[in-house]
């Protein structure tokens, strides 16, 4: 309706302007338009025969220059009378020359028409400006208003039943819910509920969902705002918004204030290096003051979420502000199964689908990754016009999330296909002959994503939170298996191992610099500069080791990688016939499972694949063109885990 009213106002303005133009500009046919000075000249030369004075125009007739010309000539002069003496002088001039003179007394409306028109136009633009100021949130008066979204008790329908995979986090937060429900129970004993709770965890683990579930369980209003909403280009706006947010929260107490990505406004204040961001620092200072001023009896609890708690200002983390820190980490196998049950609720699953198997196939996946897997599986089932989601759909969905969609439309030469086949066969064979390596789950030479010519997926038998030295060395040996296979078979190396080399070097350097797993360097930890530098805290740190230690670290990293490379070469030289058999099976089947790999390792031949028409999900799944090399880390396992997947660029 507002849009329609705006259009009506525009039409009113257009009609007013049109009437104005018609009134002032319309000239009848055959009428000559004269300037006022031209009219006076003709009048003095006795060429005018009749004069009619109106409100804003002078009309009349005049003699043509040609004396023989017939007909009457008329004229019109536009004028705005500012003084009555002008009309008196004009009347006297006409009477002295015997010219017929008449005067039409205008009404007050007509005489002041031009002023009315100007006032109408001014009022129109004022109404439009006021309406625009009310409609948008960019006015000066709204700069200091909080942009928090408020969900009242009836709107917050999320509960802990919708949150899975983080049992410990829910137990930690249960206390806050009980306080919001019955605060007197704690106050009688002199207990004070934490003023602030900081949720720490990698992206996608459900920090925002947990905060909303707390509000839903407690049945209190929920204020939600992002840290970046406080900071503006105008100094002082962020602090004003913080004050406004906390005033609103106090008015609706008990309630929950949730600040997402608090590191955007709560970063550590600069240490005098290049000057700080005054607006961000003022906003942080105001936030610290408001949190200090809160009384626990008010029933206002602040929950913040971040995945960069290491850059937060220490004043924000001290007791009395964010008293409690809750870690929301990637779920374990039981948590992943519970999350899958939540996301598959209401979806038609085939009888053979075992969510425990899917959970085992997704180590390191966050809740958002698992939701994406379920959604991809549903889309794959719909693409083939299926009525149910099968285990095959889940398996293909996991592959898509990890390595990207299949690119069967990408045409590669037989030579490249053979290189990729031997590369992945080298990974698989070395993996099976290396102690402490995770078992192979699947080997494929189908291009996926960008720059991934194939992959070898290995899955741990159980979730691991610690890695031994032998396990890290086994991982490097498996990574070097692809390059070693290329050297052995083709006596040449390709660019397909670039990502393997990068990951192997990263693991080896972490063993030397972070984990103290080098005998020559010793049980020491060195800042190797690979961690992201935070200005104001890290840039002034001096390295506490010499150039000779630098050289020692480089030598040790090189030694570890070369030793693992030689171990991979030895395994492949001792099992060359099996390497050829795995590569031939890959060239025929393109993808082989662990069961098929075991058959080949025993020396048996796989049956030829049955011919089948191309599936709908294999046609034009991705038309990204030919990859020119490996992505920087195209196979990063969701949740930050990079182990268990070796690739070959093609």
Catalytic residues: 424
Farthest CA pair distance, the chain: 132
Number of H helices, E strands in the chain: 22, 15
- Find out whether 9 and 124 touch, Cβ atoms under 8 Å: yes
CA distance linking residue 518 with residue 512, whole number of Å: 5
Kindly report the number of other CB atoms within 10 A of residue 212's CB atom: 23
Number of residues written out for the chain: 650
Torsion on CA atoms 320, 321, 322, 323, rounded to nearest 10: 10
CA distance linking residue 123 with residue 93, whole number of Å: 42
Give the three-state DSSP class for 223.
strand
Within 13 Å, how many C-alpha atoms sit on residue 69's CB side? 8
Nearest to 114 by CA among 60, 59, 55: 55
In degrees, to the nearest 5, what angle opens at C-alpha 119 toward C-alphas 117 and 124? Answer: 95
Q: What residues are paired with 59 via a beta bridge?
A: 52, 76
- Find out whether 263 and 317 touch, Cβ atoms under 8 Å: no
Kindly report the number of other CB atoms within 10 A of residue 446's CB atom: 19
Got the DSSP string for 296-312? GGG-EEEEEEES-GGGB
Give the three-state DSSP class for 76.
strand
Peptide bond into 254 cis (omega under 30): yes
Q: What residues are paired with 151 via a beta bridge?
A: 222
Q: At what angle do helices 237-251 and 278-293 cross, to 10 degrees?
A: 20
Got the DSSP string for 409-465? T----HHHHHHHHHHHHHHHHHHHTSTTPPPEEEEE-S-BTTTB-EEEEE--SS--S
CA distance linking residue 279 with residue 230, whole number of Å: 9
């Amino acid at each position: 309706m507002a849009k329609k009213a705006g259009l009506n106002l525009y039409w009113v303005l257009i009609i007013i302007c049109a009437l104005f133009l018609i009134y002032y500009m319309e000239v009848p046919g055959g009428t000559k338009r004269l300037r006022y000075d031209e009219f006076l000249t003709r009048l003095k030369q006795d060429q005018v025969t009749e004069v009619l004075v109106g409100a804003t125009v002078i009309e009349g007739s005049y003699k043509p220059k040609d004396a023989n010309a017939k007909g009457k000539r008329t004229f019109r002069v536009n004028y705005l009378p500012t003084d009555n003496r002008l009309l008196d002088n004009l009347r006297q001039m006409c009477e002295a020359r015997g010219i017929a003179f008449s005067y039409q007394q205008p009404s007050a409306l007509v005489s002041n028409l031009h002023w009315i028109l100007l006032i109408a136009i001014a009022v129109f633009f004022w109404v439009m400006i006021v309406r625009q100021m009310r409609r948008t949130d960019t006015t000066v008066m709204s700069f200091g208003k909080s942009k928090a979204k408020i969900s009242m008790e009836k709107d917050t329908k999320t509960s802990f039943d919708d949150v899975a995979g983080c049992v410990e986090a829910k137990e930690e937060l249960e206390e806050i819910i009980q306080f919001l429900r019955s605060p007197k129970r704690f106050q009688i004993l002199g207990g004070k509920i934490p003023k602030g709770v900081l949720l720490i965890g990698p992206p996608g683990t459900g920090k925002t969902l947990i905060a909303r579930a707390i509000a839903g369980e407690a049945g209190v209003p929920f204020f939600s705002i992002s840290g970046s909403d406080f900071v503006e280009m105008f100094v002082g706006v962020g602090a004003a918004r913080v004050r406004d947010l906390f005033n609103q929260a106090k008015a609706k107490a008990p309630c929950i204030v949730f600040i997402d990505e608090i590191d955007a406004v709560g970063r550590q204040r600069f240490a005098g290096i290049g000057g700080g961001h005054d607006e961000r620092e003022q906003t942080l200072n105001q936030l610290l003051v408001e949190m200090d001023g809160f009384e626990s009896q008010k029933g206002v609890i602040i929950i913040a979420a971040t995945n960069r708690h290491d850059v937060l200002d220490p004043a924000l983390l001290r007791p009395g502000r964010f008293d409690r820190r809750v870690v929301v980490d990637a779920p374990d196998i039981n948590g992943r199964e519970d999350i899958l049950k939540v996301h598959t609720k209401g979806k038609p699953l085939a009888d053979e689908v075992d969510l425990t198997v899917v959970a085992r196939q997704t180590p390191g996946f966050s809740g958002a990754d698992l939701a994406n897997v379920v959604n991809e599986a549903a889309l794959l089932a719909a693409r083939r016009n299926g009525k149910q989601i099968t285990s095959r759909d889940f398996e293909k969905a996991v592959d898509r999330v990890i390595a990207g969609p299949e690119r069967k439309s990408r045409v590669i030469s037989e030579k490249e296909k053979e290189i990729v086949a031997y590369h992945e066969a080298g990974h698989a064979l070395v993996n099976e002959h290396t102690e402490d390596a995770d078992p192979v789950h699947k080997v494929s030479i189908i291009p996926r994503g960008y720059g991934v010519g194939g992959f070898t997926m290995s899955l741990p038998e159980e979730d691991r939170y610690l890695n031994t030295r032998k396990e890290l060395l086994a991982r490097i040996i498996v990574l070097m298996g692809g390059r070693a296979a290329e050297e052995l078979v083709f006596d040449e190396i390709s660019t397909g191992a670039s990502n393997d080399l990068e990951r192997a070097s990263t693991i080896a350097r972490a063993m030397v610099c972070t984990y103290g797993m080098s005998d020559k360097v010793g049980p020491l930890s060195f800042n190797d500069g690979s961690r992201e530098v935070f200005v104001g805290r890290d840039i002034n740190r001096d390295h506490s080791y010499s150039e000779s230690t630098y050289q020692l670290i480089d030598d040790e990293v090189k030694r570890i990688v070369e030793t693992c490379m030689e171990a991979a070469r030895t395994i492949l030289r001792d099992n060359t016939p099996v390497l050829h058999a795995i590569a031939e099976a890959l060239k025929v089947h393109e993808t082989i499972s662990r069961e098929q790999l075991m058959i080949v390792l025993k020396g048996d031949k796989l049956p030829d694949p049955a011919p089948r028409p191309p599936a709908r999900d294999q046609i034009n799944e991705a038309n990204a063109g030919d990859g020119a090399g490996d992505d920087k880390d195209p196979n990063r396992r969701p949740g930050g885990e990079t182990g268990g997947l070796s690739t070959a660029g093609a």
